[in-house]
């Protein structure tokens, strides 16, 4: 009887060395997978039906978690996004230059005009500053306030010609008329006297009124 050798098996299957190695590795993998069922205990894999009332509870829980995740949580407290308004009757040139569109020249003009007026009664008066464009005013007006309580008033019953003519809203005729009216009739009681006697034009009344006292 002829003896069977490994050489004959090799010739029978026709495997190369690399193929034999691959077959050996594949055999190990098959045995490993087959042995997993004995190593890992099998659990209860049956599908259980969730009662309707439990389903509603789970939906509420999941929707609550989703809503909570959608709202960003601030760890530093609420953020105040409102800008601090700048009072143009108290600010200095550096504060004005920090505003968009206002440089050193415009800043100096604003402060000079403020000094001539005795303070701004309204932010709208910035439009009267030479060189300040409508575009620049629109950029800065929302960041400004004008505290009218800081306005320095002119007493029309005691101010002399020099004090009155220095005020930007008075022209020479109006100053002369005020002094003449005081000379003839004495004390001016209120602003309406100046309007009724045509000393101040009605169109200028709104600008001048905040700056006079009696």
What are residue 212's DSSP bridge partners? Answer: 154
Tokens linked to 200: 């101040």
Tokens linked to 1: 């009887």
With b meaning 16 or more CB within 10 Å and e meaning fewer, what string describes 162-185? eebeebeebeeebbebbeebeeee
- Taking the CA atoms of 170, 171, 174 and 177 in sequence, report the sign of the dihedral they define: positive
**Per-residue pLDDT of the chain in tens (214 residues, 90 and over written 9):** 545 555 555 554 565 666 667 777 777 777 777 766 666 555 554 555 555 555 565 555 555 554 444 444 444 444 445 678 999 999 999 999 999 999 999 999 999 999 999 999 999 999 999 999 999 999 999 999 999 999 999 999 999 999 999 999 999 999 999 999 999 998 999 999 999 999 999 999 999 999 999 9
With b meaning 16 or more CB within 10 Å and e meaning fewer, what string describes 145-158? ebeeeebeebebee
Cα 163–Cα 164–Cα 165 angle in degrees, nearest 5: 95
State residue 169's pLDDT score. 97
Q: CA–CA separation, 111 vs 88, rounded Å?
A: 9
């Amino acid at each position: 009887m002829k003896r069977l050798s490994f050489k004959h098996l090799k010739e029978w299957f026709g495997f190369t060395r690399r193929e034999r190695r691959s077959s050996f590795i594949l055999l190990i993998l098959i045995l490993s997978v087959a042995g997993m069922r004995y190593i890992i205990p099998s659990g209860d894999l049956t599908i259980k039906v969730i009662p309707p009332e439990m389903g509603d509870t789970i939906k509420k829980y999941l929707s609550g978690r989703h809503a909570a995740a959608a709202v960003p949580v601030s760890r530093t407290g609420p953020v105040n996004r409102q800008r601090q308004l700048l009072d143009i009757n108290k600010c200095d040139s550096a504060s004005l230059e920090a505003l968009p569109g206002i440089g050193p020249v415009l800043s100096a003009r604003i402060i000079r005009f403020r000094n001539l007026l005795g303070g701004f009664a309204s932010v709208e008066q910035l439009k009267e500053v030479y060189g300040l464009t409508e575009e620049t005013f629109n950029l800065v007006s929302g960041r400004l306030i004008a505290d009218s309580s800081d306005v320095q008033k002119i007493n029309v019953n005691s101010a002399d010609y020099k004090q009155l003519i220095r005020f930007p809203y008075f022209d020479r005729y109006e100053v002369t008329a005020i002094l003449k009216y005081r000379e003839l009739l004495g004390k001016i009681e209120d602003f309406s006297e100046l309007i009724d006697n045509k000393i101040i034009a009605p169109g200028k009344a709104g600008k001048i009124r905040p700056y006079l006292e009696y």
